[in-house]
Copies of this chain bind each other. A is one copy, B any other.
Amino acid sequence: MAIIEDAVTTQLAAYAASIQYGDLPDAVRREAMRSYFNILGCMLGGARHDGVNIVDRSLGGFAGKPVVTLVGRGGKSDGLHAALINCLASSVYSFDDTHEQAVVHPSGPVAAAAQAVAEMQPVSGRDFLAAVALGVELACRLCKAVSVPPAKGSMAWSGTGISGGIGAAAAAGRLLGLDQAAMRSAIGIALSQAGGFRAMHGSLCTPLMPAGAAQSGLRAALLARSGFTSSPAALEGRHGYLSVFSEQPDLDALSGGLGQRFEILRNTYKPYPCGIVIHPIIDACLELRRRYRPDPDRITSVSIAASPGAMLLCNNRSPRDEMEAHVSLHHWVAVALLRGSARIRDMDTETAVKDPALMQFQRRVEATLDPGRAADSAEVSITLTDGSRHSSRIEHCIGSATRPMTDAELEAKFAAMAIPVMGQQRADALMWQCRDLPNLADAGDVARAAA
């Protein structure tokens, strides 16, 4: 009985404590690099966000020795504060990444925690990438195990909130050299602080959940290294992760084929800075605009056949500020059709959310639930004043697992966020450095170059 109960946490800990870059398939190495490259860009893009400024200003006075780079903010802080700030910046624009099935945004907590360790001690580029691959893998598996059929879970939980800390703990723990027993403790310690539910949707607390997970995961790894211990069966034990977050967990999704099957290969990167379930709708609107160039004043109505996720999470016609606009499909329909874009600046509270033209247009947008529709798909129809009607159907949106962002698209996304912060030349150099990560002797060089 005890042996069975202990099995899954121990099994994951054993895997986490021994993962090696050399053992990872090429595709996994590549996706770890793309995950990190994308999230580093997001850290740069979000570094000067008001929400990040508030947290840094408010908590920076409690921070310790400045050892770890606050990406894009031109300073350093202690590792725990830096993990919080860097992850917050990476997620504050909802521009990060997503495991399509598990609806978790794994790289923010994982990368922010791993990056902190990489500046606290020398870490090779290969070890760093292996740690990122590990953390992303665990976060995705944990979420899949409690939410993706055959598992039954609750939409109430923030997947990133409940799993991100374990991913961060595993990544940081690997870089800190934790053995299997300490890794198991780190997982348990991170779980004891895991939380986050969707009542926070559309507020600054949404990005604070992954940020808290980054910090709490790093802390768990540090505590485990020092000998702090946890229950041995934090995941599968009675009143443990699996039973708490799922009425019917899928154990195989969590621990089946470790080292053989890789969920990180289904990690996807967001082309637009908003809730991922809105993306196919934006694709459809941009296509309509490209193809028919409709005069917005002549569009009398926009009707959308939306996925259950889009309706549940983003059916908000009247967002009041940027944080609500992140998760308002009406907002992005208006932006895409009127402006032909879907950029960070298109959700600025003053110049976009309160733009009278956009606000007025949102009233003409009607979303309808299409119960069988996949999350990466949508159909949008516009009706014009002359009664004509045009439609666009997106089967798989850009940035979905079926139609992933290309390297070139990722580079363009990165450049758009990095250049305003650091200029073209340094942004280019940073991109080269990221590509060269497998050869870097000190992975912390990347973060330092992104200061």
Does A7 sit within 8 A of B, measured CB to CB?
A: no
> Is B228 touching A58 in the complex (CB atoms < 8 A)?
yes
Q: Which A184-228 residues sit within 8 Å CB-CB of chain B?
A: 188-189, 191-205, 208-209, 212, 216, 219, 222-223, 225-228
Does A79 sit within 8 A of B, measured CB to CB?
A: yes
Interface membership of chain A positions 235-256, coded 1 if the CB is closer than 8 angstroms to chain B and 0 otherwise? 1011111011000000000000
Does A62 sit within 8 A of B, measured CB to CB?
A: yes
The stretch among A49-57, A266-274, A289-297, A353-361 that forms the contact with chain B is A49-57
* Contact flag A199-B59 (CB < 8 Å), given A192-B212, A231-B205: no
> Is A244 touching B156 in the complex (CB atoms < 8 A)?
yes
Report which of B195, B222, B234, B237 forms a contact with A59, defined as CB distance below 8 A: B222
> Is B62 touching A237 in the complex (CB atoms < 8 A)?
no
How often does this chain occur in the complex, in copies?
2
Does A367 sit within 8 A of B, measured CB to CB?
A: no
Does A81 sit within 8 A of B, measured CB to CB?
A: yes
- Residues of chain B within 8 A (CB-CB) of A391 are none
> Is A61 touching B55 in the complex (CB atoms < 8 A)?
no
Least CB distance from A74 to B in Å reads: 19
* Contact flag A202-B231 (CB < 8 Å), given A58-B222, A195-B193: yes
**Within the assembled complex, what's the spacing in Å between the Cα atoms of A192 and B84?**
14
Least CB distance from A175 to B in Å reads: 16
- Residues of chain B within 8 A (CB-CB) of A323 are 229
Report which of B54, B222, B243 forms a contact with A227, defined as CB distance below 8 A: B54
Q: Which A251-301 residues sit within 8 Å CB-CB of chain B?
A: none
- Residues of chain B within 8 A (CB-CB) of A244 are 154, 156-157, 197, 199
Does A341 sit within 8 A of B, measured CB to CB?
A: no
* Contact flag A199-B57 (CB < 8 Å), given A64-B63, A64-B64, A192-B208: no
* Contact flag A79-B54 (CB < 8 Å), given A199-B234, A212-B192: no
Does A27 sit within 8 A of B, measured CB to CB?
A: no
Does A349 sit within 8 A of B, measured CB to CB?
A: no
25 residue pairs from A and B, CB less than 8 Å apart: A55-B223, A57-B226, A58-B222, A58-B226, A61-B64, A62-B78, A157-B244, A161-B192, A191-B205, A192-B208, A192-B209, A193-B193, A193-B208, A193-B209, A197-B240, A198-B239, A199-B234, A199-B237, A200-B230, A200-B231, A201-B239, A202-B231, A204-B230, A205-B231, A229-B323
Additional pairs, 8, CB under 8 Å, beyond known A62-B81, A154-B244, A191-B199: A54-B226, A62-B79, A156-B239, A192-B197, A193-B196, A199-B231, A199-B241, A204-B229
10 closest A-B pairs by CB: A195-B195, A199-B240, A58-B226, A198-B239, A192-B205, A156-B239, A62-B78, A203-B231, A62-B64, A199-B237
